[in-house]
Amino acid sequence: MYLRTTKRKNKDGSVVEYYQLAHNERHPDNKKPVAHIIHSFGRADQLDRDDLVRLCKSIARVCGLEIADLPDQEQKKAFAAEKDFPSDLKLIRTFDFGCVMVIEALWERLGLGKTLRQICRINQIDIPYERALLAMTANRLCEPESKLGVWDRWLSKVYLPPCARLKLDHMYEAMDMLFENTEDVERDIFFHTADLFNLQVDLIFYDTTTASFSIDQEDEEGLRKFGRAKAGNWGPQVVVALAVTREGLPVRCWVFPGNTTDVDTVAQVRKDLRGWKLGRALFVADAGINSEKNQDELSRACGKYLLASRMASVSEIRENVLSKRGRYKVFTDNLQAKEVIIGDGECRRRYILCYNPKEAERQKKHRSIAVEALKKELAKHPDKKATAQWAIELLASRRYKRYLSITKSNQIRIDYGKIREVEKYDGKWVLETNDDTISLEDAACGYKGLMIIERCFRSLKRTQIKMSPMHHWLPRRIETHVRICVLALLIERVAELACKKPWPQIRGILEGLQVTEFQTPSHRFFKLNEASAPIRETLKMLGIPLPTGIYGLEALSGSQSNL
């Protein structure tokens, strides 16, 4: 028996709906079910809804059920079949599970857990520092918090049983243990990852970024020093350097004082990577690293390098490379390149001049808009003295100052000679390499791959892992915090490569997988909710099996069962 609705269309196009109480009967001849109308309630728009509610309550009372008393404007709740539900079974709480389950599985697959537990065994440490580091790393990928927030708030919301008994001191002590064994941990993890994924470590992308602190003074002895951040602001900061493979998997990271320049970081990189026996590795970096001193350092450390060069500030490039005649070799519609050799013998230098026609057109359009805006601004002021406030602001503008000059009579004007000079660089960039075996295409495409490290920095600093703000002031804790963030980046990149999706999408899918804690007078257990199709597909791509529906069964003591 059921409530049936029928519709009728009037001549004017309106539709009228009717409610009927019906049940199905089989036709005596064809045996097909046929609806038999028991009672017609009439038109739905003219029916007294309260009458239906009273009928529902009457039926529920006869059947021994209860219906929720909600306001008339809301829909009534479905009936709860309490007779079939055990009265002594209690639902305690629900935990997030999908993300932390995947992170823990990848943590073990990458050898992180094994390496850290081995260090604890060697040093005869009984405290689960490895679990503390797992909790801090997983938190960066789920809901970044301070170390206090991980222990005080976040762990109580996720299902990580081995981390349930961690104390706040364990977090900081685990960071100190990681700091003391950083080199061994990073080396073991990288080579384990390289073997696991059969990586070709032929390209190593390197770059630096900055992490600022909200403090007024720099450290007298420490890492937090005044410096110019990548975003342009000035303040106490540290410099974070990162080397990654062409897949974006971290090789190693470094933390330098905030007043360290990019060119001064290479000596430490050379020292650290020299003992790793990476074989033939091409070191790819931006123009901030390029100097004669660093070229010598990189030649000894990694053997081969591919570095961007500053076109406007290096006379040899400005006068010889950019003006070199010859056709570009076309690889794609947005990448052309040609080789330029300067010098002979040991003093020869190999440059690769790259050109992007689409980028050149974009820069040309952007410049024409800026020049037109300058013309309008200059036309507004009859007095064009360079000492006027409006002229000073234009000369200080990063957008306009390159197109302006000051005459001998102290007048500000548009310098068309500078504009023609800037046009020479549209869509172009110059690479310098000491590798004679690398092809023209591989060199040009290899440098474009440097964008992968920019993506890694965005994830570290702003979008996912959020390395800043740092709630530490001890140098060892600052360094370890950065390394924990890099471990999170490693897990993130492995998941993204397997699923071919960005981590926010993967995390959004996995958040639908939860476990609920139930308790009876004698036992406690956890039940996994039903996994949706996207969750099953994600776990399949990651190679992680879905846990059984019910697990974690344990007997309760007398004191626990009475709670």
Residue 453's pLDDT is 79
pLDDT of residue 507: 93
Structure confidence at residue 301 (pLDDT): 53
The upper half-sphere exposure of residue 288, i.e. CA atoms within 13 Å in the direction of its Cβ, equals 11
pLDDT at 199: 67
Q: Can you name the residues that pair with 306 across neighbouring β-strands?
A: 284, 433
- Predicted confidence at residue 562, as pLDDT, reads 45
Percent above pLDDT 70 for the chain: 90
**Which two tokens mark 195?**
């073997």
> Does position 522 have pLDDT exceeding 90, yes or no?
no
pLDDT digits (tens, 9 = 90+) for 363-382: 999 999 999 999 998 998 88
The pLDDT of residue 64 is 62
pLDDT at residue 108 is higher than 90? yes
Hey, is 252 helix, strand or coil?
Answer: strand
The rounded percent of the chain whose pLDDT value lies above 90 is 30
In the predicted structure, residue 300 carries a pLDDT above the cut 70: no
Confidence bin at 285 (pLDDT 50/70/90): confident
Mean pLDDT within 201-205: 69
**Amino acid at position 455, single letter:** R
Q: Is pLDDT of 129 > 90?
A: yes
Identify the pLDDT of residue 560.
Answer: 53
Question: What is the reported pLDDT for 75?
Answer: 39
Query: Residue 222's pLDDT band (boundaries 50, 70, 90)?
Result: confident
Contact between residue 447 and residue 331 where contact means Cβ atoms under 8 Å apart = no
Phi, psi (rounded to 5 degrees) for 50 = -60, -30
Range 218-235 average pLDDT: 83
Angle subtended at Cα 193 by Cα 192 and Cα 199, rounded to the nearest 5 degrees: 115
233 vs 98, higher pLDDT: 98
Contact 248, 452 (CB under 8 A): yes
Q: Alpha-carbon distance 292 to 298, whole Å?
A: 10
pLDDT at residue 247 greater than cutoff 70: yes
**Amino acid making up residue 541:** M
pLDDT of residue 115: 93
CA 234 to chain centre: 26
Question: What's the rounded mean pLDDT across residues 47-63?
Answer: 74
> Where are the strands (E) in 144-291, listed by range?
203-212, 225-228, 234-244, 250-257, 281-285
Reference 482, options 99, 219, 186; nearest CA is 186
* Chain mean position to CA 340: 38
* Residue whose structure tokens are 């032929």: 202
Residue 440 has pLDDT above 90, yes or no: no
Interatomic CA distance for residues 40 and 20, integer angstroms: 4
DSSP string, 288-337: GG--HHHHHHHHHHTEEEEEEE-TTT-HHIIIIITT---PPEEEETTEEE
pLDDT score for 81: 39
User: Each residue of 394-416: b (16+ CB within 10 Å) or e?
Assistant: beeeeebeebbbbeeeeebeeee
Q: Global pTM?
A: 0.71
In terms of average pLDDT, the best of 334-348, 473-487, 537-551 is: 473-487
pLDDT exceeds 60 at position 140: yes
Instruction: Report how far residue 459's alpha carbon sits from residue 272's, in angstroms, rounded to the nearest whole number.
Output: 25
Pick from 162, 163, 136: nearest CA to 150: 136
Instruction: Report yes or no: 402 and 417 within 8 Å, Cβ to Cβ.
Output: no
Taking the C-alpha atoms of residue 449 and residue 443, their distance in angstroms, rounded to an integer, is 10
Contact 478, 223 (CB under 8 A): yes
Question: Which of 15-29, 145-159, 362-376, 541-555 is the least confident region?
Answer: 15-29
Res 79: pLDDT: 40
> What pLDDT is attached to residue 76?
40
- Count CB atoms within 10 A of the CB of residue 130: 23
Q: Vertex 40, ends 37 and 43: CA angle to 5°? A: 135
What average pLDDT does this structure show over 402-424?
90
pLDDT at 484 over 90: yes
pLDDT at res. 66: 55
Average pLDDT over residues 137-163: 91
Answer yes or no: is pLDDT of 536 > 70. yes
Sequence-ordered list of residues with C-beta below 8 angstroms from that of 44, at least 6 positions apart, any chain: 5, 16, 17, 18, 19
Q: Is residue 283 pLDDT above 90, yes or no?
A: no
Split at pLDDT 50, 70, 90, the class of 42 is confident
- Write down the pLDDT at residue 498: 93
Mean pLDDT, the chain, rounded, equals: 83
104-118, 461-475, 513-527: range with highest mean pLDDT: 104-118
Long-range CB contact pairs, 125-128, < 8 A, 24+? 125/177, 127/170, 127/173, 128/162, 128/163, 128/166, 128/170
Quickly tell me which residue has 């330029």 as its tokens.
340
Name the token pair of 213: 């602190």
For the residues 504-525, what does the mean pLDDT come to?
A: 90
Question: What was the pLDDT predicted at 133?
Answer: 96
